[in-house]
Amino acid sequence: EIVLTQSPATLSLSPGERATLSCRASQSVNSYLAWYQQKPGQAPRLLIYDASNRATGIPARFSGSGSGTDFTLTISSLEPEDFAVYYCQQRSNWITFGQGTRLEIK
Amino acid sequence: EVQLLESGGGLVQPGGSVRLSCAASGFTFSSYGMNWVRQAPGKGLEWVSGISGSGGSTYCADSVKGRFTISRDNSKNTLYLQMNSLRAEDTAVYYCAKMVFGVVFGYMDVWGKGTTVTVSS
């Protein structure tokens, strides 16, 4: 099983700041990695797929990068609605998720 | 509008069974792989099971293998999860999700609102 480790567990930032979230895989997943956003009481929403492609309707402030084992989700300038939990997910070998990063308002 | 609507959750005794349903609309259901993903209270996401568009290929996580069975009825645009021998650790919100590219092991671009299964005596 491919284990995805996200860091940090919690990230405290203010609106307008830049957020950088990390996801590390226990073995290479090539570029087969996605990022999801989940708000309380809601289902996850797909943000990024294949490491760097924005899903339909996702604002340009969200970007993804990386390949192999190290991946990054960047939110260039935080909006109030961006504070949520973010998960990475790989599809290289079955499907696994990271444990999540909580992005909270500082 | 593309939509998924789960149903069938509730309170179940340990060792009991329940069948979840997921009604799909707004897309060609048979063309897409579908998955079930669960989230225990206060925890992260866990992939549970997946099925190909035709229903001919199915997959389950080790944690539920032999107890849960995924299936679909393309004539009814409905996905199912039969859950047997339930344990307390199966307590979670269960989401059905549509795959982006049709394959089973892919990315999930449409999610239902979820249905809650609570296993307790």
Q: Compare CB distances from B44 to A46, A49, A99 and report the shortest one's residue.
A: A99
Indicate the average pLDDT of chain A.
97
DSSP-derived 3-state class of residue B66? coil
Name the pairing type of β-strands A10-13 and A101-105: parallel
Question: Of the candidates A49, A97, A99, which has its C-beta nearest B47's C-beta?
Answer: A97
Please write the tens of the pLDDT for every residue from B9-62.
999 999 999 999 999 999 999 999 999 999 999 999 999 999 999 999 999 999
pLDDT for the residue numbered B104: 82
Inter-chain residue contact B111 with A45, CB threshold 8 Å: yes
Partner-chain contact B95 A56, CB within 8 Å = no
DSSP letter assigned to residue B27? S
Cβ distance A44 to B59 less than 8 Å, yes or no, reads no
- Token readout for B43 is 């925890």
Q: What is the pLDDT of residue B103?
A: 81
Chain A interface test: which of B58, B64, B94, B107 (most A C-beta within 10 Å): B107
Structure tokens that stand for A62 in this block:
């969200």
Q: Is B80 within 8 Å of B72 (Cβ atoms)?
A: yes
**Listed residue (A68, A20, A18, A74) closest to A48, CA to CA:** A74
pLDDT at residue A62 in the model: 98
| Residue whose entry in the numeric block shows the structure tokens 């069975």 | B69
- Torsions phi, psi for B28 (to 5 deg): -80, 95
